[in-house]
Structure 1
């Protein structure tokens, strides 16, 4: 679990989170894969939970610390066919425009760089997805080349590096 001022990020594969209740009930927010098909959503949830078991990390369920409202998913993602691990996000409509993605992404980046000792991570962003482009820019990522996936499409690669804090790197040994 990761906590920020407003948010709680929880492993959806852990015992402290009811993934079926959060994602699969008829009253659950529909934001996974933008798909209204309950079967497709079930497969997406199973993939997200399975990623934690196969890789030891994955997307966190992002909830409000105050109300426990589910805002979506933010975290590292590295499915087969990806060029390298990615910081990804998928939020509910209610979370958009409130700084939730940025707050959650910064917390996950700090976790990846400090706790997991990752030297870098990318985000794959559709160049036409202006809100996500603005987010990676606010996060300080630098633009790199393109990644073309045969089924998922074309993405711009954005590279995240450890942030500096009070003029020094969060971790030793990074250029």
Structure 2
């Protein structure tokens, strides 16, 4: 059972087969370059299955973010093999950047991790050159906390999110 989270403007819900076209378009675009793309449709299909499967294997994962009933991105909790610790990540689909969706959705996902799952910390791994994502991390109160090199994605800055008890986490 994947919970539904809501904010003032957004709904965070389970990924479904109906999200494939939006996800395939994202992964075919240059916007995906910081998260393993661009990808073919076949590899985008595998990415969607991976998103859904992460929920099954870990009991948490990333949600599809909807605004006004349309998918605008994916945000949530992530800890696949090869990552140094549990992460909160965000990907916005083309045309939906600059509206505060990533920050708003990530804040809701982080609250879920802290308040429901009881996690004491979270990181965001942000690849070199992904300045827009670094600005989201800053707006969320995260700060650089070292470096990590992923075997496929390459070097990234580890952004540490504020502890659950801090005012910055809310």
- Normalised to the residue count of structure 1, the TM-score between the two structures is 0.84
Alignment equivalent of 1:8, drawn from 11, 16, 27: 11
Highest CA radius of gyration, 1 or 2?
A: 1
**Helix, strand or coil: the match of 1:119?**
coil
Matched, 1:141 2:142: yes
Matched with 2:107 is 106
Measured after TM superposition, the shift of residue 149 of structure 1 is: 1.3
Alignment equivalent of 2:45, drawn from 26, 42, 45: 42
Q: Name the CA distance, whole Å, in 2 between partners of 1:30 and 1:52.
A: 23
The total of aligned residue pairs comes to 158
- Following TM superposition, the consecutive aligned residue runs of length 4 or more in structure 1 with deviations greater than 4 angstroms are none
Matched with 2:75 is 74
Alignment equivalent of 2:19, drawn from 18, 22, 25: 22
Matched with 1:162 is 164
Matched with 1:86 is 87
Over aligned residues, Cα RMSD in angstroms?
Answer: 2.0
Matched with 2:130 is 129
Q: Deviations over 1:55-107 (max 9, x none)?
A: 0000000001xx31101100011110100111011110121000000000011
Measured after TM superposition, the shift of residue 127 of structure 1 is: 2.8
Measured after TM superposition, the shift of residue 30 of structure 1 is: 1.2
Given that 1:127 and 1:155 are in contact with CA atoms closer than 8 Å, whether structure 2 keeps it comes out as yes
Please identify which structure carries the higher helix content: 2
Matched with 2:26 is 31
Q: Deviations over 1:10-42 (max 9, x none)?
A: 022xxxxxx21211x4x7661135435110111
**Structure 1 unpaired stretches of 5+:** 13-18, 171-175
Question: Taking structure 1 as reference, are residues 22 and 143 closer, same or farther at Cα in structure 2, changes over 3 Å only?
Answer: same
Q: Name the CA distance, whole Å, in 2 between partners of 1:105 and 1:150.
A: 25
**Helix, strand or coil: the match of 2:123?**
strand
Given that 1:21 and 1:28 are in contact with CA atoms closer than 8 Å, whether structure 2 keeps it comes out as no
**Structure 2 unpaired stretches of 5+:** none
